[in-house]
Amino acid sequence: MGSSKTIRIGAGSAHEGDDVYGAQTLAEKGNLDYIVFDCQSEVALSKAYTRRENGIPGYDILFEAKLRKVLPACVDRGTRIIANAGILDPKGAADAVMKVCRELGYGHLKVAYVSGGDVTDQLRQENPTIADTTAPLSAFGNAFLGAVAYGGAREIVAALAESADIVITPRAGDSEQYLAAMIHEFGWSFDDWEKMGRGLGLGHLVECSAQVSGGCYADPGRKDVEGLDRLGFPILEVEADGSAVITKVEGTGGVINEQTCREQLVYEIGDPARYIHADAIVDFTTTRITQVGPDRVRIEGTGGKPKTDTVKVGLAVREGYIGVGRLLFGGVGALEKAKLAAEICRRQLMDRHGFSEDRLRFDYIGFNALFDWGTDPAAVREVELRVSGRALTRGEAAEVIGAVSLLPCNGPAGVFWPRPTDQGGIEEIMGYYSTFLPHGDVKYQVHMAD
């Protein structure tokens, strides 16, 4: 672990459904020491509870496909894999990983997983205050489904110290996964706040994967990006002092420049001087971002501060259903016809099915769904009517679709009824809330899969 050592960490995914081919290119051509997969969004965590109720595993079931694509190259090059794919069932995820390893002839690999992030029962007993509402947890009643704490890097580091080739966690923080590799390789102390801040800051810059290499950045004529169909996922070349260069595999699409890094730096952080993580607080106010070559940006100078006394906990809460129906109108008077159809639907849903005004929404896609463009209504020649209704039950949400389905025969002229698969649908609404627990109240453990 000399001071001149540089390690290469690839960002294999930004979410559970990310492009597996971007990860495969990284594994095969990135010359990586580590590849990190962020397999959870807040939405994924919430939906994992309902999936589990329906007999679907409580871990990221898409991770297996990613693993099959990257594992041969990772084994060949000695690249270690870190993934927060466990969600509600890290052991189940580790067992699935072992199964893939054996099927591909890599049964010798050591797979570790972290348990202890599920704090559902603990919260039910303690009834903490919810940060978003200031009400106690008990106010949710039976709608509260469960809670998972945001884990830090410590357990991942412990697993790497046990020579794990693949580490599976529940809800490890996105940036913490990258920090863990740095701590393990460079021997950083967990109370070296500057190093913790730098490592977490680097993790933040790449944890959304292609967002720092041209994804979610292109704006034709203003910020042109070539090769978006073959985006290169980012690579961190990290030095022992916590400085790094962000780059990508040569020949892949996208771009890495000072602006892509600046845009990603401010993504979701809130106060740039106080970006809170489980292991430390990041201070981006001193960060220096410098272009040092084509698709090579150097990051240095990020600050760090001591961690808070508590860890964030994400809560999943069932909040009913939403029913959505769609119709298309074309030709002269399209907008006026769509408005007439909306009024018919509004009256029927309120008079016949008991919907209140505040549970219904009517959007005219292409005219004012996102913004009121001030377009002359008479000039509109095509518009989509989208009817949305919030409901307590799935059956009530279905009434929205039913009311919309009456309009082609019983409403204004000039309507096009989409195919059944495009007409709309019913989706369960899962709320995501937060509370906090003292670090010591979350009892993580590291296990080796067999």
DSSP bridge partners of 167: 82, 112
pLDDT tens-digit series, residues 52-74? 888 889 999 999 999 999 999 99
Residue closest to 233 by CA, chosen among 25, 16, 17: 25
Bridge-based pairing of strands 310-330 and 415-416 is antiparallel
Say which residue, 27 or 409, is predicted with more confidence: 27
Q: What pLDDT, on the 0 to 100 scale, is given for residue 1?
A: 41
Q: What does the pLDDT read at residue 423?
A: 57
Tens of pLDDT, residue by residue over 16-33, are 999 999 999 999 999 999
Q: Mean pLDDT lowest for which of 8-22, 154-168, 362-376, 403-417? A: 362-376
Taking phi first (over 0 means left), then psi (-120 to 50 degrees means alpha), and beta for anything else, what does residue 116 get?
left
- CA distance linking residue 310 with residue 211, whole number of Å: 29
Q: What is the largest CA-CA distance in the chain?
A: 77
pLDDT higher than 90, residue 114 = yes
Torsion of CA 253, 256, 260, 262, to 10 degrees: 170
- DSSP structure string for 346-384: HHHHHHHH---GGGEEEEEETTTSS------GGG--EEE
148-181, pLDDT tens digit by residue?
999 999 999 999 999 999 999 998 989 999 999 9
Tell me the pTM: 0.92
Segment among 289-293, 335-339, 371-375 with least mean pLDDT: 371-375
| Pair 172, 178: CB distance under 8 Å | no
Residue of higher predicted confidence among 371 and 139: 139
Of 435, 415, 426, 352, whose CA–CA distance to 389 is shortest?
A: 426
pLDDT exceeds cutoff 70 at 80: yes
Of the spans 330-334, 378-382, 408-412, which averages the highest pLDDT? 408-412
Spatial CB neighbours of 20, under 8 Å, sequence gap ≥ 6:
65, 66, 69
- Across all residues in the chain, what is the average pLDDT? 93
Mapping DSSP onto H, E and C, the string for 100-156 reads HHHHCCCCCCCEEEEECCECHHHHHHHCCECCCCCCEHHHHHHHEEEEEECECCHHH
Answer whether residue 377 shows pLDDT above 80: no
Q: Is the pLDDT of residue 88 over 80?
A: yes
- pLDDT higher than 70, residue 2: no
Phi, psi of 274 (to 5 degrees): -150, 65
Tokens of 204: 């933040």
Provide the 8-state DSSP code for 308.
P
Average pLDDT for 113-133: 95
413 pLDDT higher than 50: yes
Return the higher-pLDDT residue of 416 and 270.
270
For residues 390 and 86, give the distance between their C-alpha atoms in angstroms, rounded to a whole number: 31
Burial of 351 from C-beta contacts in 10 A (0-12 / 13-18 / 19+): exposed
Token look-up 């209704």 returns 389
pLDDT over 70 for what percent of the chain? Answer: 96
Tokens of 434: 């937060």
**Radius of gyration (C-alpha) of the chain in whole angstroms:** 25
Sign of CA dihedral 363, 366, 367, 373: positive
Write out the H or E segment, with its range, that includes residue 246. Answer: strand 244-248
In this predicted structure, which of 8-12, 45-49, 414-418 has the lowest mean pLDDT?
414-418
- The answer to whether residue 421 scores a pLDDT higher than 60 is no
Instruction: Enumerate the β-bridge partners of residue 364.
Output: 385
pLDDT band for position 311 (cuts 50, 70, 90) = very high
